[in-house]
Structure 1
Amino acid sequence: MTVKKKIVISVIIACVFFLILLCNLAYHSNHDLLCYVRPKTRLGDSQRKVLQDIDMDDDSMDLFHPKGMKRRLPQAIIIGVRKCGTRALLAMLKLHPKIQAASDEIHFFDREENYSRGLDWYRRRMPYSFPDQITMEKSPAYFITDEVPSRIYEMDPSVKLVLIVREPTTRVISDYTQIHSHKTDKNKPHSKFEELAIQDGEVSIKFKAVRTSNYAKHFDKWLDVFPKDQIHVVDGDKLILNPVPELQKVEDFLGLDHKITYDNFYFNETRGFYCMKDDLMSKCLSESKGRPHPYIEPWILQKLHEFYRPHNARFEELVGMKFDWPQ
């Protein structure tokens, strides 16, 4: 082989490695949510299990990342609550250059099949980050699962926890709306809201959505394990109306400089809520967010408000916050 051919081959190999490096950097960039949206595919249980069983070896992937970037266990976790804006909150926090977050819900601490795989399996589901960045993940089911607080504490007793809540009755209806929508799409039978939420004229705690909105009951279990100053509560209703102040409180809680500003948002009149933007692109949450809620009879709403009133008062006492919820 001539010297000229050797040089050409060497250049080609170098270019290939350089392109791979650029692709990996782009994929793990803090802006991945804004720059690229992968098509959402529905996987069967068997397919999902195969993907989970793939052993993503850090050592081999380190070659394609800048020196110092590694997969790390999260230093902060959004623990819930379902249908309170966990996805929106995480997407907004990813605008901060010091935050790297897992794109998917890991469900490590609440699912036995995942927890049994061990912390190294969990770590390998995290994004690459630099030592001065904070790694985050969110799995809303953590908040209501009894075993999760102690499991997270065993992983890292100093981990910072973020909880986002919305007005409880609105959350129940939103929860039902999502389930109702999924069953409708699959032509499956489903019950009306009032049939699930009300039984014998009273609010039914048999309905899981009703139990989930009893924030005080679940929060007590977290305070049995973690000190209150290690859990930050985000007002999800305020986050929707005016995101920046709530995000700045989270930045303070995480010990980060304020980098997320009003320049990172614009109000989408068509969607009816704020969308995100950065220097590269703009991004709204998926079409499934902000589904219209079904009509609920006023007397049912009143029943739910009355049911949650003492629980809400207890929750406000526990977290030291006042919410603009029906009294």
Structure 2
Amino acid sequence: MADRYPDFIIGGAPKCGTTSLHFILDQHPNIGLPEDEIHYFDADDPITHPDFFFEKSGELIHYDNSLENAEFLSAYAARFAPFSELPLIGEDSTTYLFSQVAPQRIKALLPNARLIFMLRDPVKRAYSQYWHLVKSGRVTCRFERAIREQRSLVLGSTYLPHLKTYIELFGADRVKTVLFEDFINDNQSTLDSVTDFLGTDRMQVDESASWFNKTKYPTNLSGQLALNQIGRHVVKWRYGDHLETRAGFGSKLRKKIHYNWFHRINPLFLKADRPQPIQESTRTYLADHLSQRNQGLSELLQRDLSEVWKDFTG
């Protein structure tokens, strides 16, 4: 049987509800989705995935995920094999939206794919991603410094140019945008619009299911950042064998150390229900800057986003 690849992709943005949408669609009888994010089309992008890169004896170690790499392509196809008999197969990789290499690669392998992108108040999205990086041990500094050092924080909230790229490649009829705020306020109507876009039967949202991410935050940010500094090498091991195509990084000892770090040590610091609030001066700056980066987004989506996102003027 020939390999099957995704019919649709949930391509981002990070921290905009994609995990929850994935959870719901995965319950649809006509849809199959691999459990986690695959990142096949941008695994070699140092901006979206700096954690996938290593240096060994002065040599840069990275993935070769060109379509000519049969091993990597085979590993990608294998992720969808369990769903080969289903009408629709999807993939959820949240960095595709702001990767500059992913769109053309997706078009080359999946020319008729449908793309779903979830957007959120760009300031809240960036701040939420920062806390995700904190909790996963990938930053060792406060938000104001991370804005300068972690390019994905700003790029992940720069929606307009990347949406335009996908629309130009695939056509507006194959690109669907969903606002996180709409999803939160009326998930049933939002879900109906998604299943209609995919051309499959509507489904009822299970209101009793706990499908929005429940998360905890550090009670002491300085303590968490210090812990991250100590454990920064352990964090790298987590991403060393993406798609299980590379030998050597995934030893049993390293996996055991990683498990103990993130399941026993790290949770000791994560007890708060909410993150620390953003500095008002930082929020004001980002609201203005990200509005400028997304100037014309309201026109593209044919919706006044200033009514949804605080201080947004794009």
Cα distance change on mapping 1:165 and 1:189 into 2, 3 Å: closer
Distance 2:180 2:139 in 1: 31
Of the candidates 98, 122, 136, which is equivalent to residue 182 of structure 1? 136
* Residue of 127, 132, 136 corresponding to 1:173: 127
**Which amino acid in the other structure matches residue 297 of structure 2?**
F
> Which residue of the other structure, out of 150, 156, 161, is the alignment partner of 1:217?
161
Q: Distance in 2 between matches of 1:85 and 1:114?
A: 30
- Which residue matches 1:56? none
C-alpha contact (below 8 Å) 1:99/1:136 kept by paired residues: yes
* Structure 2 segments unaligned to the other structure (5+ residues): 45-62, 218-271
Distance in 2 (CA, whole Å) between partners of 1:127 and 1:81 is 26
Contact 1:146-1:221 at 8 Å conserved across structures: no
* Equivalent residue number for residue 111 of structure 1: 43
State the partner residue of 2:300.
318
Residues 1:189 and 1:163: Cα distance change in structure 2 (over 3 Å): closer
**Does the 8 Å contact 1:95/1:260 carry over to 2?**
no
Over the aligned positions, Cα root-mean-square deviation in angstroms equals 2.7
> Distance between the aligned counterparts of 1:257 and 1:212, measured in 2?
31
What do residues 225-248 of structure 1 show as CA deviations (whole Å, max 9, x unaligned)?
Answer: 221211101111221233111111
Confirm or deny that 1:94 pairs with 2:26: yes
Deviations 1:152-183 (A, max 9, x none): 11112111111111110000100111112233
Superposed counterparts of 1:154-173, under 5 Å: 154-173=108-127
Distance verdict in 2 for CA 1:291–1:220, change over 3 Å: farther
2:91 corresponds, among 120, 134, 137, to 137
Change over 3 Å in CA distance of 1:130–1:107 after alignment to 2: closer
3-state SS of 1:137 partner:
strand
CA contact (8 A) 2:119 2:179 kept: yes
CA distance in 1, matches of 2:166, 2:139: 36
Cα-to-partner distance string for 1:68-113 (whole Å, 9 max, x where unaligned): xx96211011111111121111111112111111112111111142
Give, as a single letter, the amino acid of the residue that structure 2 aligns with 1:152.
Answer: I
Q: Residue in 2 aligned with 1:281?
A: none
Q: 1 CA distance for matches of 2:178 and 2:28?
A: 17
Unpaired stretches in structure 1, ≥5 consecutive residues? 1-58, 60-69, 198-203, 267-273, 277-283
Alignment TM-score, normalising by the size of structure 1: 0.64
Q: 1:149 aligns with which of 97, 103, 122?
A: 103
| Residue matched to 1:260 | 204
Q: What does 1:1-327 align with in structure 2 at a 5 Å threshold? A: 72-112=4-44, 113=63, 115=65, 116=69, 117-129=71-83, 131=85, 133-183=87-137, 190-197=140-147, 207-261=151-205, 264-266=206-208, 275-276=210-211, 285=213, 287=215, 292-323=274-305, 324-326=308-310, 327=312
AA of the residue aligned to 1:316 = S
**How far apart are the structure 2 equivalents of 1:258 and 1:325?**
29
Q: State the distance in 1 between where 2:151 and 2:39 align.
A: 22
State whether residues 108 and 114 of structure 1, in contact with CA within 8 Å, keep that contact through their aligned partners in structure 2: no
Once the 2 structures are TM-superposed, how far is the Cα of residue 288 of structure 1 from its aligned partner?
Answer: 5.6
CA distance in 2, matches of 1:260, 1:119: 35
In structure 2, the residue matched to 1:4 is none
In structure 2, distance between residues paired with 1:237 and 1:87 = 15
For 1:103, the aligned partner's letter is: E
Q: Alpha carbons of 1:291 and 1:320: their partners in 2 closer, same or farther (altered >3 Å)?
A: farther
* Structure possessing the higher relative contact order (Cα contacts under 8 Å, 6 or more residues apart): 2
Kept in 2: contact 1:73–1:126 (CA 8 A): yes
Kept in 2, the 8 Å contact 1:169–1:304? The answer is yes
C-alpha contact 1:216 1:315 (8 A) present in aligned 2: yes
- Taking the aligned partners of 1:322 and 1:92, their CA distance within structure 2 comes to 28
Q: What is the SS of the residue equivalent to 2:131?
A: helix
State the match for 2:237 in structure 1.
Answer: none
Give per-residue Cα distances to partners, 1:252-274, cap 9 Å, x unaligned.
0001121234xx113xxxxxxx7
User: What TM-score, normalized by structure 2, do the two folds share?
Assistant: 0.66
Cα distance in 1, alignment partners of residues 181 and 77 from structure 2: 32
Residues 131 and 189 of structure 1: is their aligned pair in 2 closer, same or farther, counting only changes over 3 Å? closer
Q: Does the aligned pair in 2 maintain the 1:228–1:319 contact within 8 Å? A: no
Partners of 2:303 and 2:173 lie apart in 1 by: 13
> How many equivalent pairs are there?
233
Q: Distance in 2 between matches of 1:138 and 1:108?
A: 10
How far 1:312 moved relative to its partner? 3.6
